[in-house]
Chains A and B, each alone.
Chain A
Protein backbone atom coordinates (compact mmCIF):
# COMPACT_ATOMS: atom_id res chain seq x y z
CA UNK A 1 0.00 0.00 0.00
CA UNK A 2 1.04 3.62 -0.52
CA UNK A 3 1.84 5.59 2.64
CA UNK A 4 1.82 9.39 2.63
CA UNK A 5 4.54 10.62 5.01
CA UNK A 6 3.67 14.22 5.63
CA UNK A 7 4.91 14.37 9.26
CA UNK A 8 8.59 14.14 8.35
CA UNK A 9 8.37 16.98 5.84
CA UNK A 10 6.23 19.03 8.24
CA UNK A 11 8.93 18.67 10.89
CA UNK A 12 11.66 19.61 8.39
CA UNK A 13 9.79 22.70 7.27
CA UNK A 14 8.69 23.49 10.85
CA UNK A 15 5.10 23.73 9.75
CA UNK A 16 1.96 22.78 11.63
CA UNK A 17 -0.77 20.52 10.25
CA UNK A 18 -3.37 23.28 10.32
CA UNK A 19 -1.09 25.66 8.44
CA UNK A 20 -0.43 23.05 5.75
CA UNK A 21 -4.15 22.31 5.39
CA UNK A 22 -4.85 26.00 4.94
CA UNK A 23 -2.07 26.42 2.36
CA UNK A 24 -3.17 23.48 0.22
CA UNK A 25 -6.88 24.31 0.56
CA UNK A 26 -8.20 21.21 2.29
CA UNK A 27 -9.74 20.74 5.72
CA UNK A 28 -7.84 19.41 8.75
CA UNK A 29 -10.10 16.36 8.66
CA UNK A 30 -9.15 15.54 5.06
CA UNK A 31 -5.47 16.04 5.84
CA UNK A 32 -5.86 13.61 8.75
CA UNK A 33 -7.45 11.09 6.39
CA UNK A 34 -4.40 11.43 4.13
CA UNK A 35 -1.95 11.08 7.02
CA UNK A 36 -3.74 8.05 8.51
CA UNK A 37 -3.77 6.16 5.25
CA UNK A 38 -7.56 6.06 5.05
CA UNK A 39 -7.71 7.94 1.76
CA UNK A 40 -8.76 5.87 -1.26
CA UNK A 41 -7.15 8.23 -3.77
CA UNK A 42 -5.33 11.52 -4.00
CA UNK A 43 -5.86 14.04 -6.76
CA UNK A 44 -2.82 15.18 -8.74
CA UNK A 45 -3.69 18.79 -7.90
CA UNK A 46 -3.69 17.94 -4.16
CA UNK A 47 -0.29 16.24 -4.47
CA UNK A 48 0.92 19.24 -6.47
CA UNK A 49 -0.29 21.62 -3.73
CA UNK A 50 1.35 19.53 -0.96
CA UNK A 51 4.71 19.41 -2.78
CA UNK A 52 4.52 23.12 -3.49
CA UNK A 53 3.72 23.96 0.17
CA UNK A 54 6.37 21.61 1.60
CA UNK A 55 8.91 22.39 -1.15
CA UNK A 56 9.55 18.73 -1.80
CA UNK A 57 9.21 16.02 -4.44
CA UNK A 58 6.34 13.49 -4.54
CA UNK A 59 8.87 10.76 -3.76
CA UNK A 60 9.68 12.52 -0.48
CA UNK A 61 6.18 11.99 0.82
CA UNK A 62 4.99 8.86 -1.00
CA UNK A 63 6.24 5.48 0.13
CA UNK A 64 5.25 1.98 -0.90
CA UNK A 65 4.91 -0.74 1.76
CA UNK A 66 3.96 -4.39 1.26
CA UNK A 67 0.58 -5.25 2.81
CA UNK A 68 0.88 -7.66 5.76
CA UNK A 69 -2.01 -9.75 4.36
CA UNK A 70 -0.17 -10.31 1.08
Chain B
Protein backbone atom coordinates (compact mmCIF):
# COMPACT_ATOMS: atom_id res chain seq x y z
CA UNK B 1 0.00 0.00 0.00
CA UNK B 2 2.84 2.39 1.00
CA UNK B 3 4.77 1.54 -2.17
CA UNK B 4 1.69 2.24 -4.25
CA UNK B 5 1.23 5.63 -2.60
CA UNK B 6 4.91 6.37 -3.12
CA UNK B 7 4.67 5.43 -6.83
CA UNK B 8 1.60 7.60 -7.23
CA UNK B 9 3.36 10.46 -5.49
CA UNK B 10 6.23 10.24 -7.95
CA UNK B 11 3.91 10.15 -10.91
CA UNK B 12 3.78 13.64 -12.44
CA UNK B 13 0.35 13.10 -13.91
CA UNK B 14 -1.01 12.21 -10.49
CA UNK B 15 0.59 15.31 -8.96
CA UNK B 16 -0.93 17.50 -11.69
CA UNK B 17 -4.30 15.87 -11.10
CA UNK B 18 -4.05 16.63 -7.37
CA UNK B 19 -3.21 20.30 -8.06
CA UNK B 20 -6.17 20.60 -10.45
CA UNK B 21 -8.49 19.01 -7.89
CA UNK B 22 -7.31 21.40 -5.17
CA UNK B 23 -7.94 24.36 -7.50
CA UNK B 24 -11.36 22.86 -8.32
CA UNK B 25 -12.31 22.58 -4.63
CA UNK B 26 -11.18 26.17 -4.00
CA UNK B 27 -13.27 27.36 -6.97
CA UNK B 28 -16.30 25.43 -5.72
CA UNK B 29 -15.95 26.99 -2.27
CA UNK B 30 -15.59 30.45 -3.84
CA UNK B 31 -18.69 29.92 -5.99
CA UNK B 32 -20.75 28.69 -3.05
CA UNK B 33 -19.40 31.52 -0.89
CA UNK B 34 -20.09 34.19 -3.52
CA UNK B 35 -23.64 33.09 -4.13
CA UNK B 36 -24.11 32.64 -0.41
CA UNK B 37 -23.15 36.29 0.03
CA UNK B 38 -25.57 37.25 -2.76
CA UNK B 39 -28.38 35.31 -1.05
CA UNK B 40 -27.65 36.88 2.32
CA UNK B 41 -27.47 40.37 0.83
CA UNK B 42 -30.67 39.79 -1.12
CA UNK B 43 -32.52 38.96 2.11
CA UNK B 44 -30.99 41.53 4.41
CA UNK B 45 -29.87 44.40 2.13
CA UNK B 46 -31.93 47.58 1.77
CA UNK B 47 -29.94 49.60 -0.79
CA UNK B 48 -29.99 49.73 -4.61
CA UNK B 49 -27.50 46.85 -4.88
CA UNK B 50 -29.81 44.57 -2.91
CA UNK B 51 -32.72 45.56 -5.20
CA UNK B 52 -30.59 44.73 -8.22
CA UNK B 53 -29.72 41.32 -6.79
CA UNK B 54 -33.39 40.68 -5.93
CA UNK B 55 -34.34 41.50 -9.51
CA UNK B 56 -32.35 38.50 -10.70
CA UNK B 57 -34.21 36.10 -8.44
CA UNK B 58 -33.66 32.47 -9.38
CA UNK B 59 -31.31 33.42 -12.21
CA UNK B 60 -28.47 33.68 -9.75
CA UNK B 61 -29.18 30.24 -8.29
CA UNK B 62 -29.35 28.76 -11.78
CA UNK B 63 -25.98 30.32 -12.62
CA UNK B 64 -24.56 28.92 -9.41
CA UNK B 65 -25.90 25.42 -10.19
CA UNK B 66 -24.49 25.46 -13.73
CA UNK B 67 -21.12 26.73 -12.49
CA UNK B 68 -20.94 23.97 -9.87
CA UNK B 69 -21.85 21.43 -12.57
CA UNK B 70 -19.00 22.74 -14.73
CA UNK B 71 -16.60 22.40 -11.80
CA UNK B 72 -17.86 18.86 -11.09
CA UNK B 73 -17.19 17.89 -14.72
CA UNK B 74 -13.74 19.49 -14.43
CA UNK B 75 -13.12 17.22 -11.42
CA UNK B 76 -13.65 14.25 -13.74
CA UNK B 77 -11.18 15.74 -16.25
CA UNK B 78 -8.62 15.98 -13.43
CA UNK B 79 -9.32 12.34 -12.49
CA UNK B 80 -8.68 11.19 -16.07
CA UNK B 81 -5.42 13.18 -16.13
CA UNK B 82 -4.41 11.44 -12.89
CA UNK B 83 -4.97 8.06 -14.56
CA UNK B 84 -2.52 9.12 -17.30
CA UNK B 85 -5.45 9.21 -19.68
CA UNK B 86 -5.41 12.91 -20.65
CA UNK B 87 -6.09 12.30 -24.32
CA UNK B 88 -9.30 10.32 -24.22
CA UNK B 89 -12.79 10.56 -25.67
CA UNK B 90 -14.12 11.03 -22.12
CA UNK B 91 -12.17 14.27 -21.77
CA UNK B 92 -13.35 15.36 -25.23
CA UNK B 93 -16.95 14.99 -24.02
CA UNK B 94 -16.23 16.56 -20.63
CA UNK B 95 -14.85 19.74 -22.17
CA UNK B 96 -17.77 19.85 -24.58
CA UNK B 97 -20.24 19.62 -21.67
CA UNK B 98 -18.39 22.35 -19.75
CA UNK B 99 -18.60 24.51 -22.87
CA UNK B 100 -22.33 23.86 -23.26
CA UNK B 101 -23.02 24.77 -19.61
CA UNK B 102 -21.10 27.98 -20.13
CA UNK B 103 -23.00 28.63 -23.34
CA UNK B 104 -26.29 28.17 -21.50
CA UNK B 105 -25.24 30.73 -18.90
CA UNK B 106 -24.32 33.17 -21.69
CA UNK B 107 -27.59 32.69 -23.52
CA UNK B 108 -29.49 33.14 -20.27
CA UNK B 109 -27.79 36.42 -19.48
CA UNK B 110 -28.14 37.73 -23.04
CA UNK B 111 -31.88 37.04 -22.88
CA UNK B 112 -31.97 38.62 -19.43
CA UNK B 113 -30.18 41.71 -20.73
CA UNK B 114 -32.61 42.05 -23.64
CA UNK B 115 -35.51 41.69 -21.21
CA UNK B 116 -34.06 44.36 -18.89
CA UNK B 117 -33.67 46.77 -21.83
CA UNK B 118 -37.07 46.04 -23.34
CA UNK B 119 -38.95 46.24 -20.04
CA UNK B 120 -37.38 49.60 -19.19
CA UNK B 121 -35.67 48.33 -16.04
CA UNK B 122 -32.38 49.62 -17.44
CA UNK B 123 -29.77 50.11 -14.84
CA UNK B 124 -25.99 50.32 -15.24
CA UNK B 125 -25.37 47.51 -12.75
CA UNK B 126 -27.82 45.13 -14.42
CA UNK B 127 -26.58 45.78 -17.94
CA UNK B 128 -22.89 45.52 -16.99
CA UNK B 129 -23.49 42.36 -14.90
CA UNK B 130 -25.38 40.64 -17.73
CA UNK B 131 -22.88 41.71 -20.37
CA UNK B 132 -19.91 40.65 -18.27
CA UNK B 133 -21.27 37.19 -17.57
CA UNK B 134 -22.41 36.72 -21.17
CA UNK B 135 -18.95 37.61 -22.50
CA UNK B 136 -17.22 35.43 -19.89
CA UNK B 137 -19.54 32.56 -20.74
CA UNK B 138 -18.84 32.86 -24.48
CA UNK B 139 -15.10 32.99 -23.75
CA UNK B 140 -15.25 29.82 -21.64
CA UNK B 141 -17.44 28.13 -24.30
CA UNK B 142 -14.92 28.96 -27.04
CA UNK B 143 -11.93 27.80 -25.01
CA UNK B 144 -13.66 24.54 -24.04
CA UNK B 145 -14.73 23.75 -27.61
CA UNK B 146 -11.21 24.43 -28.88
CA UNK B 147 -9.74 22.23 -26.11
CA UNK B 148 -12.26 19.50 -26.93
CA UNK B 149 -11.23 19.59 -30.60
CA UNK B 150 -7.51 19.58 -29.75
CA UNK B 151 -7.86 16.66 -27.33
CA UNK B 152 -9.84 14.72 -29.94
CA UNK B 153 -7.07 15.20 -32.49
CA UNK B 154 -4.44 14.28 -29.90
CA UNK B 155 -6.45 11.15 -29.03
CA UNK B 156 -6.59 10.07 -32.68
CA UNK B 157 -2.86 10.69 -33.10
CA UNK B 158 -2.15 8.74 -29.90
CA UNK B 159 -4.30 5.83 -31.15
CA UNK B 160 -2.37 5.75 -34.38
CA UNK B 161 0.94 5.97 -32.53
CA UNK B 162 -0.05 3.16 -30.15
CA UNK B 163 -0.86 0.97 -33.14
CA UNK B 164 2.48 1.70 -34.81
CA UNK B 165 4.66 -1.29 -33.99
Q: Which residues of B contact A40 (CB under 8 A)?
A: 159-160, 163-164
Shortest Cβ distance from B158 into chain A, in angstroms?
11
Does A26 interact with chain B (Cβ within 8 Å)? Answer: yes
Contact of B163 among A26, A31, A33, A46 (CB under 8 A): A33
Q: Which residue of B lies closest to A38 (CB)?
A: B163
Q: Which A residues are CB-close (under 8 A) to B159? A: 40
Majority-rule SS of B interface residues:
mixed
A46 to B165, CA, bound (A): 7
C-alpha gap A24/B163 in the complex (Å): 17
Interface mask (B128-165 → A, CB under 8 Å = 1, otherwise 0): 00000000000000000000000000000001100111
Which B residues are CB-close (under 8 A) to A31? Answer: 165
Residue among B159, B163, B165 with the highest chain A CB neighbour number at 10 A: B165
Docked Cα-Cα span, A26 to B61, in Å, equals 56
In whole Å, how far is A51's beta carbon from the nearest beta carbon of chain B?
A: 14
Interface of chain A residues 1 through 58 with chain B (CB within 8 A): 26, 30-31, 33-34, 38-43, 46
CB of A43 within 8 A of CB of B164, answer yes
Residue numbers in A under 8 Å from B163 (CB-CB): 33, 38-41
Closest to A26 in B: B165
- Bound Cα distance A46, B40 (Å): 68
A34 / chain B contacts, CB cutoff of 8 Å:
165
Specify which chain A residues have a CB less than 8 angstroms from the CB of B164 in the assembled complex. Answer: 39-43
**Distance of A40 Cα from B165 Cα, bound (Å):** 8
A positions within 8 Å CB-CB of B: 26, 30-31, 33-34, 38-43, 46
| For the complex of A and B, 7 pairs with smallest distance between CB atoms | A40-B163, A41-B164, A40-B160, A30-B165, A39-B165, A34-B165, A39-B163
